Amino acid sequence: MIIDRVMTRNPVFIHPDMSVNEVRSLMDKEKIGHLPVLDKGNRLVGIVTREDLIKAAPSAATTLDMYEISYLLSKMTAENVMVKKVITVAENEVVEEAARVMADNGIGCLPVMRGDLLVGIITDTDLFHALIDAFGARYRGVRITCLTRDAPGQFAKIASAIAEKGGNFVAFVSAEGDDLTHRRATLKITGIARPDAEAVIRNFPDVEIEDVRES
């Protein structure tokens, strides 16, 4: 899956001179937690998150009253709190690479670029939606997780056997097994009853069913 299929297009953005209070209000209004910062030439120069706003707020132990705090925040701009070294991703990158970059760097979003042009943003919420789609979570059917020998044609044989019984795959996700000789697969199957789906899989002596349920 390519990022440009799951990203939010034409994201809401701000300029460096917007006050922190305005940034917070915009986030609340749009129900978002990340705002790219563009300069007057529409070049990406930073990003502001809700966490950045929290860090910029005075400590709970401050002796300032609410009016003084409000005044100080009104004078603080996005440029004062934004992250300037922004990690980005190209629109034609794959979703799993975006997920890896976000996980490795402990961040919740990536501005999506077409050259120097901001064309979207991908967030952890977008990745959750991609995960839902990848596992066929919106379809009712039989969900089977199994451990299988990592061999050429193994998955093709399983798919063919399911198809012969009238079953249809709406998801087929493979991951590393417990060792290099095995793969763990999660199958979401429609058009076939649970007992029949289980029976098909159990006909393969080198496939171990770890979990099966209707969902």
DSSP string, 32-60: -SEEEEE-TT--EEEEEEHHHHHHHSPPT
Domains and CATH numbers, the chain: 3-131 (3.10.580.10), 136-214 (3.30.70.260)
Q: What was the pLDDT predicted at 61?
A: 41
Q: Under DSSP, is residue 84 helix (H, G, I), strand (E, B) or coil?
A: coil
Q: What was the pLDDT predicted at 66?
A: 60
CA neighbor of 182 nearest in space, from 203, 215, 212, 210: 210
State both tokens at 150.
């990592």
Q: What was the pLDDT predicted at 208?
A: 95
Distance, in Å, from the CA atom of 125 to the CA atom of 78, rounded to the nearest integer, reads: 23
Say if residues 130 and 136 touch (Cβ distance below 8 Å). no
Q: Give strand pairing partners of 120.
A: 9, 112
Q: What was the pLDDT predicted at 189?
A: 97
Q: What was the pLDDT predicted at 60?
A: 46
Q: Give strand pairing partners of 11.
A: none
**Cα–Cα separations (whole angstroms), residue 3 to 110, 197, 215:** 10, 33, 28
Q: What was the pLDDT predicted at 54?
A: 83
Low-confidence ranges of the chain (pLDDT < 50): 60-61
Q: How far is CA 94 from the centre of its chain?
A: 11
Distance, in Å, from the CA atom of 14 to the CA atom of 79, rounded to the nearest integer, reads: 10
Q: What was the pLDDT predicted at 209?
A: 96
Tell me the whole-structure pTM to 2 decimals.
Answer: 0.80
